[in-house]
Chain A
Amino acid sequence: MEEKEKIFETLKSAVVSGDHELAIKTAKRAIEIGIDAYVCIMEGLSPGMQVVSDKYEKREVFVPQILRSARAMNMAVDILKPHIPVSSVRTNGKIVLGVVAGDIHDIGKNLVKLLCEAAGFDVIDLGKDVPVEKFVETAKEEATDIVGMSALMTTSMIGMPDIIKSLKEQNVNCKVIIGGGPVSQSYADSIGADGYAADAAKAVKLVGKLLGG
């Protein structure tokens, strides 16, 4: 195997096993020997995160393992990023994500962000407890392809229809997807959302599908 291939494989397995020390070491080595940093992300780190995502979908691993893998990936990305010329980055689409107002449970949203970024989407993260206007303004300004919102409480999810209504009123042309514990496909249908995903792994697939990828 070529050294380049070996580096990609090592980055991938470092992400899968959540070994951030190995991920950092390998990323540094990649830069040292002049491998394209962007390709390292797309051929090494990203497929590693995909493996973790698939395992989570099958409930072979759980959120602690995803967070550990994401940390390894992000630490390697931090090393690689300064070496990526802006022109070589292709994005598969732009997504605005946030947890709706009144809700601070952001772990699911963070997982969606991690997996979407790993899959090559550009994510604007509005954080948690996000007011309606913030979603709409950002979607407008950033000309985003998708707005994703989540709620973990039966008390906070009822703010979702307001966001959809406001996006429509202001003619913001984007798809809306929702997720979170109390939310369901039929709730998504009832409020006019374009999609629902039961977990972060399914959310990435949904995003890909909606953007025709």
Chain B
Amino acid sequence: MGELTLKERYLHILEGRDIERPSCACPLQTGTIELMKKTDSFWPQAHSDALKMARLSFGAWKYTGIESARVPFCLTVEAEALGCTIKQGDLISQPSVQKHPVSDKKSLENLAVPNPEKDKRMPVIGTAVSMLKEWTDDKIPIIGGVVGPFTLAGHLRGIGDLLLDFFDNPGFVEEILDFSKEVCISFSNYLEDQGADSITIIDPSATTELIGPEDFKRLVAPRIEDIIKTLKTPAVLHICGDTTAILDAMEKTGARGISIDHLVDIETAKTYLKNSALVGNINPIDTLMLGSKEKIESETKACILKGADIIAPGCGISPKTPTENIVNYINVAKKIRGKL
């Protein structure tokens, strides 16, 4: 048997078939200012132009050695297609949701699940996925990122109002979440059809910094499970913050990869995860953006030795991160991998 392609390694790890040698794929955002310059694909245009999006994403592999190509670079694609007002952002800041369309039951009923082939930027992401698929000759994993149901519900309703609805109108919370789930299913299935090899579901608002583990298990986890059941490719689930208390529930969703923030200890996390791959968790700011060469090296080594299966930052890469630093962690990870 010949050497695995990067795509095969990533998928094997997520399928639990080859967890001896880690992958250096990055299931979270990879756009940086230096890469934007190298690929002549700048934010905010690269959020809405498929060619620029694909070039910036491909640049992460080409110029840093990250073993995947991942789109999009923001968390607002679904929200925008549902009528949220979006601020475009600039070179260093991502697009953000400004206004929330769901004020009551009626405004929720007026929303329809968007058509990913047509609505707003959804087809842009799909087109970027198929371009990447073609450019990489099917050898590098193409990762499609979608926003999880709780974060999308927060975009739609406004997170503060959504959290008060827990007490004032619990049924409404379930309705918004059910609708968000359908959007997530439709968009992630579309990205698979366009050629995505794996879907990353990111649900930052479902963090235990905001809602308790009980609410996560009751409201969020079952819906993520429903989404994953519809997928043909293995899913990675990322939730920000210290998720130690919900790791078991995250795994039960059927996610094949559990992506953890740098606040979570890998060894502790491993005791909760039975058969999913662990993704993480280099500190994206203190280490990857600002850290010395030595700090990046030692933290990367620690991630591998503690047992991470996919070596990646614990959150999206910050745009001011120097290419050199990314190259650095990738090289350290590859070197150790060679010895395993």
Contacts and interface: CB of A to CB of B under 8 A. Distances in A.
Interface string A80-117: 00000000000000000000011110011010000000
A158 interface: yes
A104 B98 contact: yes
B163 A64 contact: yes
Nearest to B89: A102
Contact of A63 (B211, B240, B286, B317): B211
Interface string B105-149: 000000000000000000000000000000000000000000000
Interface size, B (range): 35 or more
A181 B208 CA distance: 12
Contact of B160 (A18, A67, A186): A67
B167 A64 contact: yes
A154 B210 contact: no
A158 B285 CA distance: 9
A154 B315 CA distance: 8
A154 B286 CA distance: 10
A155 B98 contact: no
B160 A154 contact: no
B166 A64 contact: yes
Given A63-B163, A104-B97, A158 B284 contact: no
Contacts of B319: 155, 158
A186 B319 CA distance: 20
B94 A199 contact: no
Contact of B320 (A108, A158, A183): A158
Interface string B235-272: 00000110000000000000000000000000000000
B285 A184 contact: yes
Contacts of B315: 154, 181-182
A182 B285 contact: yes
Residue from B92, B209, B215, B284 whose CB has the most chain A CB atoms within 10 Å: B209
Nearest to A183: B285
A101 B286 CA distance: 20
A63 B285 contact: no
Contacts of B167: 18, 64, 68
B212 A184 contact: no
A18 B163 CA distance: 13
Contacts of B94: 102, 153, 155
B285 A62 contact: no
Contacts of A181: 207, 209, 240-241, 315
A131 B136 CA distance: 41
Contacts of B164: 64, 67-68, 71
B91 to A, nearest CB: 10
B268 to A, nearest CB: 16
A12 B165 CA distance: 23
A110 B158 CA distance: 14
Contact of A190 (B160, B166, B290, B316): B290
A17 B87 CA distance: 37
A64 B211 contact: yes
B285 to A, nearest CB: 5
B240 A155 contact: no
B233 interface: no
Interface in A99-154: 101-104, 107-108, 110, 129, 153-154
B90 interface: yes
Contacts of B163: 63-64, 67
A154 B321 CA distance: 10
Contacts of B103: none
B96 interface: yes
A59 interface: yes
A54 to B, nearest CB: 16
B166 A59 contact: no
A4 B44 CA distance: 59
A160 B33 CA distance: 18
B215 A64 contact: yes
B288 to A, nearest CB: 9
A107 B215 CA distance: 18
Interface of A: 18, 59, 61-64, 67-68, 71, 101-104, 107-108, 110, 129, 153-158, 181-184, 186-187, 190, 199
8 contacts: A63-B209, A64-B164, A67-B160, A102-B93, A102-B94, A155-B94, A155-B319, A158-B92
